[in-house]
Amino acid sequence: MEERILSLRRLLNLSQKDFANKISITQAALSQIESGKTMLSVSTMYSLIRAFELRTDWLLFGQGEIFSHQKIDTARGTPPNSQNTSNQLIPFVDKDAEAGYPDNCADSEYIKTLGAYRIPGFEEGKFRMFNISGDSMHPHLCENEVVITEAVDKIESIQENQLCVIISSDGIVAKRVFHDNNNTLLLKSDNPKYKAYKLAYSDVIEIWEIKGKITTEFLNKTKGSTDERLFTHRLEELEKTVDILKSALKLDGRVRENGELKPVKKDED
């Protein structure tokens, strides 16, 4: 990306100082970006797009035309005003944006600073993408996968056991949602080592239903060992349960042979 920024500045015939002033950063910061020593922040990326009317596809991937003369409409994940819904861009809340998102998710200007992408099959609706952190939803959702979600307007409409991304003052989590009493949600993890907990409706800032995900999981062979360990753990738990049941039957004076319960033979003195 730094190569495109350098080529853009040269195309516009601007000095580092003048270019930096237009995007509200210092000349030293621009020099670090152009040399590849500093990563481009989300806020600076948005400043570039806004100041020079750049196309996001070109800035991020070097694809298509450089300039666009129409304002990029990514606020709230809604489609552009035109009837061409294939142009919809879905905002992506990546790891860098997670900390500030709960406090700023209602700010349309903040949403415009997020990266935004077109995803085939998600052209009509109010969508957002979130990065998965941790292993609480393993094996169905894994670390660093990206989930594509659709906005839920009414919490009461969520079906039981639905996978959702929940935004609250405590942060962003992906959980299975169940309705509890007294306007409360019960949030459960798929990984059995994490306990379920409750969250009041009033504490929910936003809730998004998971509709799909972007993953490289099938390419990562190291994840297979994690799945195998989880399967082995569950098998061991099942074997323990079977042993407990056998012991209980013996205490009752019976054992099962060939599908039938028969008295236990007592050892002769």
- Co-location of 128 and 93 in the same domain: yes
Domain-embedded: residue 268 = no
Is the pLDDT confidence value at 120 over 60?
yes
Domain-embedded: residue 269 = no
Range with the poorest average pLDDT among 9-23, 52-66, 142-156, 235-249:
235-249
The stretch 211-229 carries a mean pLDDT of: 67
Is the pLDDT confidence value at 188 over 70?
yes
Is the pLDDT confidence value at 81 over 70?
no
CATH code for the domain in which residue 45 is found: 1.10.260.40
- Residue with tokens 């730094």, as numbered in its chain: 2
Q: How far apart are CA 213 and CA 37, in angstroms?
A: 32
Predicted pLDDT at 265:
58
Of residues 34 and 150, the one with the higher pLDDT is 150
* Closest listed residue to residue 2, CA positions, set 34, 27, 30, 41: 34
- Co-location of 78 and 208 in the same domain: yes
Q: For the chain, how are helix, strand and coil distributed in percent, rounded to 5?
A: 35, 25, 40
The per-residue pLDDT for range 86-110, each reduced to its tens digit, is 458 899 999 889 999 999 998 888 8
- Co-location of 42 and 83 in the same domain: no
Is the pLDDT confidence value at 269 over 60?
no
Average pLDDT, the chain: 80
- The total domain count for the chain is 3
Domain that holds residue 251: 221-263
CATH code for the domain in which residue 112 is found: 2.10.109.10
Q: How far apart are CA 246 and CA 192, in angstroms?
A: 25
3-state SS string for 123-179: CCCCEEEEECCCCCCCCCCCCCCEEEEEECCCHHHCCCCEEEEEEECCEEEEEEEEE
- CA angle, 34 as apex, 31 and 35 as ends, to 5°? 85
Predicted pLDDT at 196:
95
Is the pLDDT confidence value at 137 over 80?
yes
- Co-location of 184 and 81 in the same domain: yes
